[in-house]
A and B are shown apart, each in its own frame.
Chain A
């Protein structure tokens, strides 16, 4: 090959490369650094999204229904719930009962529990139209698994996560029935909407018909999925009544324990180190753990920095921090402030 040809080929290649590079940068100005697929910064599940209460209604006796709006509210699927921060700082979980297709809008329903821990009383008294209500991004541990047939059982306010499921199951053309129990007809929300589903829905107000009859659950055919949300006795009864092989999905209303001043002693099993330690009444879990494992990371010792968050393998935790999300609380705790609910915890340490 002649020299001139070589030169022309190199020049041509350089020109093409330059054009390709410019085109690449024009298409994406932040080239060439790769990006993390699921961004972390600015997307913390702990962040509070400011939402506005745009309507407040009472769909049944003692039930408050709120519509929250904000362009930032992420999409969700039936069965999801959100953390809500009440004006006093109390954090409570409520299922979303609106329409997932209605983007930018969440609907929650709150039953007033007079002798409860105060969250529902505060909500009923203070959450008015036009007020701001911070919510955390939704999460779902009660997902509707696709199937051709379902049996839904709801007790009282437990209807809330089930309601969007009925809509989705109907839209998918699935075969379903709903057994919906409550104290009295006037205290059961959404009965008007449910009436549109006709004979698929069985309403069982306790003052008229007693407790719902779960015996039919025993004949649940294989492949039919059972979804139940309501008080613990109802869910236990559903679990017992359904055939052992049936897929039963339960939504537990996690009762986050009240922060009590009393601190009882308990034991902690350090799973990886294979040791069991005693936590005295007057000391923190962190202090006891650090006696065995002095290099355990920690910092603020007041439950806000998150450094001492550790995985919990077994045991119920009495969470006393205000930092962790509902999801994080399922399998982790802050050693500096939180303790065992009962008398034993197993930590992945």
Chain B
């Protein structure tokens, strides 16, 4: 459809049947600074818990509406699996929020804004059926594809972030991040394939990438500052770009260079998500993840 007559070819060996996993995490023993001695990296990663519950609920909400547009059975099965995985991600991260509040860091002022962003600003809106409604749905499907580019990037990063193990990160939090990261890697092609299937326009892809990237940078720096300024154990802490670059060099956060490199990747016309990341690595982690294998990991 539209202006990409030849969609980029996926790497076939990276495809796998998707199924939601019923996870369970026990948060009782997770400390506020779950990455010992590095509150900045802890809180920068914690921003995930602020954005994902509302964001992934929104993915599910949008994808339920797009199902009737999917004419390919394989893709439909992928989207169905994707929806369940995203619903579980939203719920699992949502459970961390009351725990943060228990530890003296109430995230509600921030999450109530993220809720507004996804439920009101990016919600269904009262549009007449027909062109306007279809446009808004496609715009959101494209936004999700762009955001999923970054969740897959982060998922691949966290699966390979050995520095977090070396620093003694809390095992339950690490398991949550890696279970989530692994499923993001596992289903990294779905949002992009769906977008290519129902629309695929390059202009829309570039435009929504710019919107998603700007919004993510804005929300992430704001979230990291919010956590640092309200941390009950650090009365005078502030977030800064310097800390971000340092953590990137040390390996406790993704490096700025890798992030910059991911931009032209997504904007390349021959890009397909299956070209990056490893399904085998993701599946191997999922097979061993305590949280994804039935048990509370307390």
Which A residues are within 8 Å of any B CB, using their own CB?
A: 29-30, 33-36, 39-44, 46-47, 49-50, 72, 295, 297-300, 302, 304-307
Contacts and interface: CB of A to CB of B under 8 A. Distances in A.
Interface residues of B, number: 44
Interface centre among B68, B112, B114, B229 (most CB of A within 10 A): B112
Contacts of B68: 295
A29 B229 CA distance: 10
Contact of A299 (B54, B87, B114): B87
Given A40-B57, A299-B20, 4 more contacts: A39-B108, A40-B54, A300-B88, A307-B60
A14 to B, nearest CB: 25
Contacts of A304: 20, 22, 88
A297 B66 CA distance: 10
A300 B226 CA distance: 35
B115 A36 contact: yes
A108 to B, nearest CB: 21
Contact of B83 (A40, A297, A302): A297
A39 B117 contact: no
Nearest to A298: B80
In the complex, the 7 A-B pairs of residues with the closest C-beta atoms, listed nearest first: A299-B84, A42-B97, A35-B112, A41-B111, A36-B115, A305-B84, A39-B112
Given A30-B113, A30-B226, A47-B95, A40 B119 contact: yes
A174 to B, nearest CB: 37
B88 A29 contact: no
Given A42-B108, A47-B95, A299 B83 contact: yes
Interface in B47-96: 50, 53-54, 57, 60, 63-64, 67-68, 80-81, 83-85, 87-88, 91, 94-95
14 contacts: A30-B222, A35-B113, A39-B112, A40-B54, A40-B115, A41-B94, A42-B107, A44-B94, A47-B94, A72-B98, A299-B80, A299-B83, A299-B85, A307-B87
A218 B113 CA distance: 54
A42 B84 contact: no
B109 interface: yes
Nearest to B120: A36
Contacts of B112: 35-36, 39, 41
Contacts of A36: 112-113, 115-116, 119-120
Interface string B93-134: 011011001100001111111111101100000000000000
A39 B94 contact: no
Contacts of A305: 20, 83-84, 87-88
B28 interface: yes
A340 to B, nearest CB: 24
Interface in B239-290: none
B137 to A, nearest CB: 14
Contacts of A43: 108
A292 to B, nearest CB: 14
Contacts of B107: 41-42
A299 B67 contact: no
Contacts of A39: 108, 111-112, 115
B19 interface: yes
A111 B109 CA distance: 42
B62 to A, nearest CB: 11
Contacts of B53: 40-42
A72 B22 CA distance: 26
A38 to B, nearest CB: 8
B254 to A, nearest CB: 24
Nearest to A46: B91
B67 A297 contact: yes
Contacts of A295: 67-68
Contact of B116 (A29, A35, A44): A35
A295 B64 CA distance: 8
A44 B20 CA distance: 20
Nearest to A70: B102
Interface string B187-208: 0000000000000000000000
